[in-house]
């Protein structure tokens, strides 16, 4: 369903089998060259922990090396994820899907206490859509406006397997995660506790 212009929600888009397979890949990524870490924003470490593919994100910029973690080069962006991103986008905008080439994924891990404050995703030099996939515990997702962190906003519950696409006028909407519901991950999704969110993006960077 279209929540706002350019913002599409497809509940239960990933099968449990796909979810468990992606969680198995996640367990490999966190053993890779760069561990999960909470990014430091304005001197505060985020409660959400992130590992990146393709490009490493730190507040306000992307780089190939995780300069704020251990300096290692991040893992490549997997081809299967490019195809998955295209299939996701095809659900909502078939014309955009075939030329969609995400080059970075921010993979966030939330424990029961983790929160993400209201923010805009403005560190990409491209206006291409963001594709978001959730696995594990359900969370409350707050989808706001493009003007400020406050009202109007809409709260919805994002569950394991849900797909979201944010494009067009919604690409710069404020959004956040005010709450995770512990113990709500479905049997078979591969995660015993916590929540994973993958956001695929186009950085607009070269090299």
Pick from 195, 59, 88, 92: nearest CA to 140:
195
CA-to-CA distance for 131 and 134, rounded, in angstroms? 10
Choose between 138 and 197: whose C-beta lies nearer to ligand MD3.
197
Torsion of CA 93, 81, 175, 13, to 10 degrees: 60
Query: Among residues 52, 43, 47, 46, which one has the least CA distance to residue 72?
Result: 52
Give the nearest distance from C-beta 119 to Fe ion in angstroms.
6
- Residues 37/184, Cβ–Cβ less than 8 Å: no
Q: Which is nearer to Fe ion, 95 or 122 (CB)?
A: 122
Integer-rounded Cα radius of gyration of the chain: 16
Shortest CB 175 distance to Fe ion, Å: 6
At closest approach, how far in Å is the CB of 170 from ligand MD3? 6
Residue 166's binding partner out of ligand MD3, Fe ion, none, with CB under 5 to 8 Å set by partner kind: ligand MD3
Which residues between 17 and 56 bind ligand MD3 (CB under 6 A)?
A: none
Which residue of 74, 84, 114, 116 would you call a contact of ligand MD3, by CB under 6 A? Answer: 116
Rank residues 86 and 141 by Cβ distance to ligand MD3 and give the closer one.
141
Q: Is the dihedral of CA 47, 154, 199, 163 positive or negative?
A: positive
Distance of CA 106 to the CA centre of its chain: 5
Using the rule CB under 6 A, give the single segment among 14-22, 29-37, 78-86, 167-175 that binds ligand MD3: 167-175
Nearest of 11, 4, 5, 61 to residue 164 by alpha carbon: 11
Query: Do residues 105 and 52 make contact, with C-beta atoms less than 8 angstroms apart?
Result: yes
Find the binder of ligand MD3 among 104, 138, 197, 203 (CB under 6 A): 197
Least CB distance to ligand MD3 at residue 119 (A): 7
Q: Is 130 in the site for ligand MD3 (CB under 6 A)?
A: yes
Interaction site with ligand MD3 (CB under 6 A): 106, 108, 116, 121, 130, 132, 164, 166, 170-171, 173, 175, 177, 197, 199
């Amino acid at each position: 369903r279209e929540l706002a212009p350019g913002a599409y929600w497809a509940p239960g888009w990933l099968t449990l089998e796909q979810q468990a397979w992606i969680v198995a890949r996640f367990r490999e990524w966190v053993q890779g060259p760069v561990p999960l870490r909470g990014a430091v924003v304005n001197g505060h470490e985020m409660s959400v922990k992130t590992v990146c593919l393709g490009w490493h994100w730190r507040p306000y910029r992307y780089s190939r090396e995780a300069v704020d973690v251990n300096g290692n080069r991040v893992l490549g962006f997997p081809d299967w994820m490019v195809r998955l991103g295209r299939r996701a986008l095809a659900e909502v905008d078939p014309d955009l899907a075939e030329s969609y080439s995400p080059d970075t994924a921010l993979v966030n891990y939330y424990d029961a206490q983790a929160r993400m404050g209201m923010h805009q995703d403005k560190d990409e030099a491209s206006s291409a859509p963001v594709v978001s996939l959730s696995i594990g515990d359900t969370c409350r997702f707050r989808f706001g406006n493009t003007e400020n962190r406050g009202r109007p906003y809409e709260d919805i519950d994002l569950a394991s397997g849900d797909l979201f696409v944010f494009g067009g006028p919604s690409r710069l909407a404020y959004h956040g995660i005010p709450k995770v519901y512990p113990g709500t991950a479905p049997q078979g999704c591969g995660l015993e506790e916590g929540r994973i969110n993958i956001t695929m993006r186009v950085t607009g960077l070269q090299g």
